[in-house]
Amino acid sequence: MHDRPELPSDSERMVFKVDKLGVFVIPLSVFLIVTFGLYRKVPVFDTFLSGAKEGISSTISILPSLIGLMMAVSMLNASGALDLLSSFLAPVAHFLGLPEQVMPLVLIKPISGSGATAILTQIFEKYGTESLIGRVASVLSGSTETTFYAIAVYYGAVSVKKTRHTIPAALTADFTACIISALAVRLFLH
């Protein structure tokens, strides 16, 4: 009896390739940093320790902002406010050329990365990855960051309270990504 091994599909092969690339980036960076340090006669372990020590205080310094933000995000999720807001904003989505099913993702992405992943997987399950909705959702998540998380963490770490023009500029970038993602998917893929 012969069990012929199944050939990997195109997608598996592709992911395998890119995954390998991703797997190599971190070890290579570490290798380069340490080798270069040795070459320049840096006491590498002592230097590492003094850096790692600073990491502890850095991590602790962002904890208050994280607690505040994650509390707000889980409240928003639990209350059903996200779905309510999304249906409320459906006309805006149409106006921007975005499928309205992507709206919950648009709303959650700036505040929560894990929340955005959860919604994205729901979209994939419901509409598939190759639909217009699935593709716009992919492009949108791939090209935006968790804006408020970054703002809270970075400014929280150095206790800066007045952020001046940071939020307007960052939100302009997010808003641009919304419009362009719908456009780019239609331009490149459909």
Partner 1 sequence: MLNYIWAVLILISVLCAFFTGRVPQLSAAVMNGASNAVDLTITMMGMMCAWTGLMKIADAGGITRILSNLLHPLTKHLFPDCEKGGPALKAICMNITANLLGLGNAATPLGIAAMKELKKRNPTQTADNSMAMFVVINTASLQIIPTYMGTLRAKYGSPNPFDIVPAVWFTSVCALAAGIIVAKVLEGRKFEK
| Residue 92 is a binding residue for partner 1 (CB under 8 A) | no
User: Which 3 state secondary structure label does DSSP give 145?
Assistant: coil
Question: What is the rounded CA–CA span in Å between residue 122 and residue 115?
Answer: 11
Question: What is the rounded CA–CA span in Å between residue 82 and residue 78?
Answer: 9
Which one, 1 or 169, has the nearer CB to partner 1?
A: 169
Which one, 90 or 132, has the nearer CB to partner 1?
A: 132
The tokens 């205080």 sit on which residue? 57
| Residue 159 is a binding residue for partner 1 (CB under 8 A) | yes
Among residues 2, 5, 10, 27, the one that binds partner 1 under rule CB under 8 A: 10
| Residue 6 is a binding residue for partner 1 (CB under 8 A) | no
Question: What is the rounded CA–CA span in Å between residue 133 and residue 125?
Answer: 11
| Residue 103 is a binding residue for partner 1 (CB under 8 A) | no
Which one, 1 or 42, has the nearer CB to partner 1?
A: 42
- Total of residues contacting partner 1 (CB under 8 A): 111
Residues 30-59 that bind partner 1 (CB under 8 A): 30, 32-34, 36-37, 39-40, 42, 44, 47-56, 58-59
Q: Are 93 and 102 in contact (CB under 8 A)?
A: yes
DSSP state of 9: P
